[in-house]
Amino acid sequence: MIRNILVALDPDEDTLVAIDYACSIAHNHSASVTGISIVDTRRIEKRAAGGGIGSMHYAEKLKEQWTAKTREMARKLIADFQDVSAEAHIPSNYLVKEGVPAEKIVDEMRFHDILVIGNVPHFFYAHPDERTNTLNQIVKTGVGPVIVVPQKEVASEKVLIAFDGSSASSRSMQRFCQTKPFGEQQELHVIHVFADGQEAHSEMLLAKATNYIEDWGFTVYSASLRGDDHYKHIMQYADYIGAGVVVAGAHSVSKMAKMVFGSTTSSLVENGDKILFIER
């Protein structure tokens, strides 16, 4: 059950998509939405810092200008959020925070059931073309599930659960079934990609996963696929069944990933054309 949804607001196109999905989920669960807009003061200060004594005055002026511009953008984002949520008849609240975006969002996640965020978050409003690593930090340290949305809305009727038997993928599968963010009428497909000689183990994992999902009232199908490139198999199967949502686990440590995501999940985020449901 979902009662309160946090949605991250920044100047990207995917923010409006995130707001729409948050409102849709809120409608399904009679929940409220809270928009959070953040003035990234640390990043502004870092970028505005001068190189010497003679440049300190200029750096201070630049910092003031960027801070004012960023606060103005934050207010606009909140206003747009309020307009959309009001039009959708969804109860809403808003927060404007100053500081490090990931830290502020993670702090608020403790008091919300789920976070909805665009797949390329930029919170340094004075230079929105700068990509930040905010999303990685949020998944690494946050509490609860995260729904990462693409820049364009996609259908959510079919869901692919990428299940590898790990604790992270198990938590994601469980939390998706428990929260039912998109309702109960979805068609779920759970797949397991296995290496040579592991077919029996794969079938056993899928049987258990399928039973778990069915107990939550979903229609579920399963597929066991042999291969080494998990991301390739997941995306090909998602496209084959027409899935708009992928459920995957995030890993706290991975040499191949950018700070937090397992290599497969990181690739899913970067692909950016499907909704991604992640639980750490």
Mean predicted confidence (pLDDT) in 127-147? 78
Question: Residues for the chain: how many in total?
Answer: 280
Asked if 4-149 and 158-279 have one fold, the answer is yes
State both tokens at 31: 């929940």
pLDDT classification of 257: cutoffs 50, 70, 90: very low
pTM of the model: 0.86
* Cβ-contact 20, 153 below 8 angstroms: yes
The H-or-E segment that residue 237 falls in is helix 230-241
- Report which of residues 253 and 166 the model is more confident about: 166
**Which backbone phi and psi does 89 adopt, to 5 degrees?**
60, 40
- pLDDT for residue 39 is more than 90: no
Please report, rounded to a whole number, the percentage of residues in the chain having pLDDT higher than 90. 48
Average pLDDT over every residue of 148-177 = 91
For residues 39 and 90, the model is more confident at: 90
CA separation for the pair 135, 105 (Å, rounded): 10
Q: For residue range 144-157, what is the model confidence (pLDDT) as tens digits? A: 999 999 888 888 99
**Six-digit token pair at 24?**
């849709």
Q: Where does the pLDDT of residue 254 fall: very low under 50, low under 70, confident under 90, or very high at 90 and above?
A: very low
- In a 10 Å sphere around its CB, with 0-12 CB exposed, 13-18 middle and 19+ buried, how is residue 57 labelled? exposed
Which helix or strand (DSSP H or E) is residue 60 part of? helix 56-87
pLDDT on residue 258: 38
Confidence band of 252 (pLDDT split at 50, 70, 90): very low
- Write the Ramachandran bin of 248: left for phi over 0, alpha for psi from -120 to 50, otherwise beta: beta
More confident residue, 205 or 40: 205
Residue 260 has pLDDT above 50, yes or no: no
pLDDT per position as a tens digit, 72-131: 888 889 999 999 999 999 999 999 998 888 899 999 999 999 999 988 766 656 555 566
**Per-residue pLDDT, 100:** 87
Average pLDDT, stretch 203-209? 94
In the chain, the DSSP E strands lie at 4-9, 32-39, 92-98, 114-118, 146-149, 158-162, 187-194, 219-226, 245-249, 275-279
CB neighbour class for 279 (10 Å; exposed up to 12, middle 13-18, buried from 19): buried
State the CB neighbour count (10 A cutoff) for residue 92. 21
Quick check: helix, strand or coil at residue 76?
A: helix
Q: What angle do CA 153, 38, 138 make, to 5 degrees?
A: 65
For the cut 90, the answer to whether the pLDDT of residue 41 exceeds it is no
pLDDT of residue 64: 75
Min mean pLDDT across 90-104, 196-210, 228-242, 255-269 is at 255-269
Confirm or reject CATH 3.40.50.620 for domain 4-149, answering yes or no: yes
Contacts of 9 (CB under 8 A, 6+ apart): 15, 18, 19, 35, 36, 37, 74, 77, 78, 80, 81
* pLDDT exceeds cutoff 50 at 253: no
Per-domain boundaries in the chain: 4-149, 158-279
Q: Which CATH number fits domain 158-279: 3.40.190.10, 3.40.50.720, 3.40.50.620, 3.30.230.10?
A: 3.40.50.620
Position with higher pLDDT, 59 vs 206? 206
